[in-house]
Amino acid sequence: MKRIDQQKQVDVASPERRKILGFAVAAINLALISAIIGPVIGFVTSPMRRKKKGQWVSILDENLLAKGEVQEVNFSLRIKDGYQVVDRKYTLYLSRSQEGVVCIDPACTHLGCRVRFQSDKHRFVCPCHGGVFSEDGKVVSGPPPKPLERHKVKVESGKIWIYKET
Ligand code: FES
């Protein structure tokens, strides 16, 4: 008789206790999973969350760029790429016109092929789909939707500096 009463008490209390235990187990599991996965996700996505940085880079002596000339300039920068530090090579075009020194990025605005300057035609020509740009980077013909990108330029201490985002 006594044994039946004890069993009744357990049956009545059991659903509530199970519910509390279930919440406790779920909370502990959630804390464990967060403690393991959180840092891993943070580590893997850190390069994507990194803000783009820029810097002023001296790329040419001012007196080496004549008025009306368009000159291809190659230089390299040491940058952090993901988890590595690498020396990345860049090519830009500098020209000196009435508006001052202009720096044009050779990446075609259609699909990103590298345009080449043809000095006899005074045009930038894209080898991929025949896009043509004027000396100051405006679209002349072909599929490119917008002008070539320009970089900020300053002339200081006898040098031409460009602002390069990395
Ligand atoms: S990538 Fe230059 S025209 Fe298509």
CA distances from 109 to 13, 26, 126 (A): 71, 52, 10
C-beta 106 within 6 A of ligand 1: no
pLDDT above 70 for 1:
no
pLDDT above 70 for 9:
no
Q: The whole model's pTM is what?
A: 0.68
Determine how β-strand 100-104 pairs with β-strand 116-118: unpaired
C-beta 57 within 6 A of ligand 1: no
- Show which of 49, 65, 83 is a domain's final residue: 49
Contact 92, 73 (CB under 8 A): yes
Domain containing 25 equals 1-49
Residues 70, 144: one domain?
yes
pLDDT tens, position by position, 58-95:
999 999 999 889 999 999 988 887 788 899 999 999 99
Residues 89, 34: one domain?
no
pLDDT tens, position by position, 98-122:
888 999 999 999 999 999 999 999 9
Residue 151 CB-density burial (10 A; 0-12 exposed, 13-18 middle, 19+ buried): buried
> What CATH number should be reported for the domain holding residue 106?
2.102.10.10
For residues 67 and 100, give the distance between their C-alpha atoms in angstroms, rounded to a whole number.
9
Residues 43, 72: one domain?
no
Measured in angstroms, how far is the CA atom of residue 11 from the centroid of ligand 1?
A: 76
Q: Please compute Rg for the chain using Cα positions.
A: 32
pLDDT above 80 for 160:
yes
Residue from 105, 108, 141 to probe ligand 1 pocket by mutation (most atoms less than 8 Å from CB): 108
Position 94 scores a pLDDT of 95
Residues 42, 86: one domain?
no
Residues 36, 68: one domain?
no
Cα maximum dimension of the chain: 111
Specify the number of domains making up the chain: 2
For residues 162 and 166, give the distance between their C-alpha atoms in angstroms, rounded to a whole number.
12
pLDDT bin (cut points 50, 70, 90) of residue 11 is low
pLDDT above 60 for 143:
yes
Residues 129, 60: one domain?
yes
C-beta 113 within 6 A of ligand 1: yes
